[in-house]
Structure 1
Amino acid sequence: MRYMLMQYQTQENEDGVVTSAEQQAAIGEYLREGSLAGVFLTGEGVHSSRRGARIEVGDEGSVRVIDGPFAKAKELIAGFAILEVDSLEEAVEHARRFALLVGTHRVDVRKVGEYADLALPDQQG
């Protein structure tokens, strides 16, 4: 099963503070081990919201573009990872380890919707 981990910004991330060389090395080693084990499939970090935009669509179909930065850094995504694991519990354990490693206060864990999940009830085996 694939799970997506979504790491949230800390104010330091949003302010552009770069992690230490030691922390970067530890994160790199964690990702290398996960890749070699076939658990870590892909992942990326994203820049601060200062370098982004937000699109809001109104009820009438009106579109509003808001340039960053956005308020409340703790509600912004800092990066994601896609894992291949056997259970939600295993994905949660990886998220826990990663959160402690990078110093974030929040990581969401969500199962990736597979094509088979979209099958109608009468089409399921």
Structure 2
Amino acid sequence: MRFMVIVKSDGKTDVSGAQPSAEELQEMGKFNEELVKAGVMLAGEGLLPSSEGVRLQYSGTSEARVVDGPFAESKELIAGFWILQVKDKAEVIEWMKRAPFREGEIEIRRIAEMEDFSNATPEIVEHEQNLRKQAEAN
């Protein structure tokens, strides 16, 4: 099973643009190394402040509304993420309990697989598999 671990922003770093200390970067690097050595980390990145981002809002028309950051509601901001492949939710929870955070919040969500969609025809499944192979080759 694949899970996305969403690291929520505390808002302070997003507004100020403050970067992690060298010690925090070292601790996170060590934790990421453990995830890689265990074979569970597929991806993981920190994100730049929302001032450098945009949101596209859709409201029933073919035109998307583009909203430039920064975004005021800090509860909705994401500071980073991991994509982990583990056997179950309990395993990802155990890994994340070891993450080197002193404050904040993370959210863990299982990534939907084609098998989760009961209306996916064999043609849709095959097409999705081909797209994944092409993306991995990139």
TM-score, scaled to structure 2 = 0.77
Residue in 1 aligned with 2:7? 7
Gaps of 5+ in 2: 123-138
Confirm or deny that 1:40 pairs with 2:41. Answer: yes
Higher relative strand content: 1
Q: Deviations over 1:54-78 (max 9, x none)?
A: 1111134442111100012231111
**8 Å CA contact 1:9, 1:104 repeated in 2:** no
What do you get for the CA RMSD once the two structures are aligned? 2.0
Q: CA deviation at 1:93?
A: 2.1
Confirm or deny that 1:87 pairs with 2:104. Answer: no
TM-score, scaled to structure 1 = 0.84
**8 Å CA contact 2:54, 2:66 repeated in 1:** yes
SS at match of 1:93: helix
Gaps of 5+ in 1: none
User: How far apart, CA to CA, are the structure 1 residues paired with 2:73 and 2:102?
Assistant: 17
**8 Å CA contact 2:11, 2:77 repeated in 1:** no
SS at match of 2:98: helix
Confirm or deny that 1:78 pairs with 2:79. Answer: yes
Give the total of aligned pairs.
120
Residue in 1 aligned with 2:21? 20
Question: What is the identity percentage for the equivalent residue pairs of Structure 1 and Structure 2?
Answer: 35
Instruction: Tell me which amino acid in the other structure corresponds to 2:51.
Output: R
